Amino acid sequence: MNVKKTYGIFFLVYFTWGVFEAYFGLYIPLYYYEILAVNRNDLAFIQFFGYLSLIITPLVAYVFDAHIESERSHKIFVCLCAILLCSCFSIFLINKNILLLYGIFLGVYFLCRLVIGTIMSKIYLTLSVESPKIKHPMILIINGAKGVSFLIISLFFDAIIKNVYSLPQWEFFFMIGWMLTLPLLSVVLFLRNYSIFSNQSSPNRNNNVESKNINKNKSQKRVFWFAIFLYIAFFLASSDLIFLSLISSWVLTKYNEFSLRFFFSFYYVITICSLLGYYFASKIAKRISNISLFFVFCCLYLFFIILLPLSNFPMFLVIQCGLAFAGYIANYMYISIAQTISVNVRYKTVAYQLLLMSQSIANIVFTPIGTSLSAFISVETLIFFSSILFALSCGIQLILVLINKIKHFKEFK
């Protein structure tokens, strides 16, 4: 495999994901909450069914792991998903006022993302087995690409949206977003005549992996319950999703339009902080226990969440930088642990997606609840509720850290 070309493909795919995440996480919620002022209970209902597509992630991962081995089939799925996703964005541009179409677009987005994401995870895990040194640079590239896309979109927002309540300006801004997702189609060209699983069927490698797995069966049983509680801890740590989609709207209503505009313009600094977090994480991940680092930076993240409702606008910006830095390090550590566990089981992609699915379930649960509750309770109250769940997560993590110090699970080093 050409490592540089692989890095390029991953950057392109996850840059596009970052564009979608920015629109779904920041701009579309603001558009519906404040510009169109839609019924929030209706929006929560649509969000719930849109996010439901995330629940089939492990099933898709199993199908690709166990039944779809042809490289040509993988490329066809990537092509179909890229075309479907860009087409749905086009339909959304024409009919943004229809919530049902937004829900369909959201569901298609998550479905296509999990199919392409499963394929990319399969490539990533295959590479991790063949070349362990690629693990940390790949995590950095994946999340760095998302950070770059957030930065570019925030600059476009500041340049295009001069009046936040102007519908024509929002139309143009959404059109720019659609154009930024088109590079996803070029991934098909990159993958053509490019072998992505060239060493996958190597008999020696398979024998080695099977032998390795047999020797580690006992260890895997001990790790299982540890991983279950870590999974629960990550789910609870994702409870900030109950208010995250409301942040843009909250800034506009709590402060003013100038503050909102400055917040989006300032987003490149927040993006830099997140990238610094990933860079810092990649440097310390090999030296210190990943589970210990996960606990420390989740506690730091909780500290910033508690401060959030008490902040004025300058302090709010500083807290956002702190949240980005600490949150991205904690996320990095969890992904690193998930990857280490996954490569030691038979169906690597399934195990990896199962471990990451805790955040998907959190999306299904917390995002619609936050949207619905925001109709009659304040965002500050939602933040307080999230901090309680986050504190519970940190408590579970502390117990796991202490157990790890006694048992010395190498999967969590």
Specify the CATH number for the domain of residue 373. 1.20.1250.20
The SS3 assignment for 409 reads coil
Residue 201, in any domain of the structure: no
Range of the domain at 85: 3-191+208-412
Residue 197, in any domain of the structure: no
Q: What is the DSSP letter of 129?
A: H
Closest CA to 114 of 52, 161, 33: 52
Residue 198, in any domain of the structure: no
The amino acid sitting at 230 is L
d(CA 146, CA 22) in angstroms, rounded, equals 9
Q: Are 243 and 386 in contact (CB under 8 A)?
A: yes
Please check the confidence at residue 311 and state whether its pLDDT lies above 80: yes
Closest CA to 295 of 411, 404, 136, 401: 401
d(CA 332, CA 368) in angstroms, rounded, equals 26
Sign of the torsion formed by the C-alpha atoms of 123, 191, 278 and 329: negative
The SS3 assignment for 36 reads coil
The 10 Å CB-count burial string (b at 16+, else e) for 220-237 is eeebeebbeebbebbbbb
CA distances (Å), origin 236, targets 21, 173, 230, 391: 21, 34, 10, 9
**Alpha carbon 329 to chain centroid, angstroms:** 13
pLDDT given at position 206: 45
158 vs 67, which has greater pLDDT? Answer: 158
Residue 203, in any domain of the structure: no
Residue 373, in any domain of the structure: yes
Please check the confidence at residue 130 and state whether its pLDDT lies above 80: no
141 vs 199, which has greater pLDDT? Answer: 141
The amino acid sitting at 267 is Y
pLDDT, tens digit, 9 for 90 and up, residues 314-372: 999 999 999 999 998 998 888 888 877 776 666 676 777 778 888 888 988 999 999 99
Query: How many domains, in total, are found in the chain?
Result: 1
303 vs 406, which has greater pLDDT? Answer: 303
pLDDT, tens digit, 9 for 90 and up, residues 227-252: 788 889 999 999 999 998 899 899 98
Where does residue 249 rank: exposed (0-12), middle (13-18), buried (19+ CB within 10 A)? buried
Residue 202, in any domain of the structure: no
Q: What is the DSSP letter of 365?
A: H
CA distances (Å), origin 200, targets 124, 128, 137, 206: 12, 12, 21, 8
And the tokens for 186? Answer: 């070029």
pLDDT, tens digit, 9 for 90 and up, residues 77-116: 778 888 888 888 888 888 888 888 888 888 888 888 877 8
And the tokens for 398? Answer: 């502390």
Q: Are 404 and 337 in contact (CB under 8 A)?
A: no
CA distances (Å), origin 355, targets 57, 228, 314, 345: 11, 9, 37, 13
Does an H or E element contain 50, and which? helix 40-51
Please check the confidence at residue 49 and state whether its pLDDT lies above 80: yes
CA atoms within 13 A of residue 349's CA, in its CB half-sphere = 26
The SS3 assignment for 322 reads helix
pLDDT given at position 87: 84
pLDDT given at position 209: 42
End-to-end CA distance of the chain: 28
For 64, residues 6+ apart whose C-beta sits below 8 A from its C-beta are 74, 118, 119, 122, 349
Residue 17, in any domain of the structure: yes
**Alpha carbon 96 to chain centroid, angstroms:** 24
Instruction: Report the residue count for the chain.
Output: 413
What value does the CA radius of gyration of the chain take, rounded to a whole number of Å? 21
Residue 312: CB atoms within 10 A of its CB come to 9
Average pLDDT over residues 159-179: 89
And the tokens for 60? Answer: 């898709």
Banded pLDDT at 163 (limits 50, 70, 90): confident
d(CA 247, CA 371) in angstroms, rounded, equals 11
Residue 153, in any domain of the structure: yes
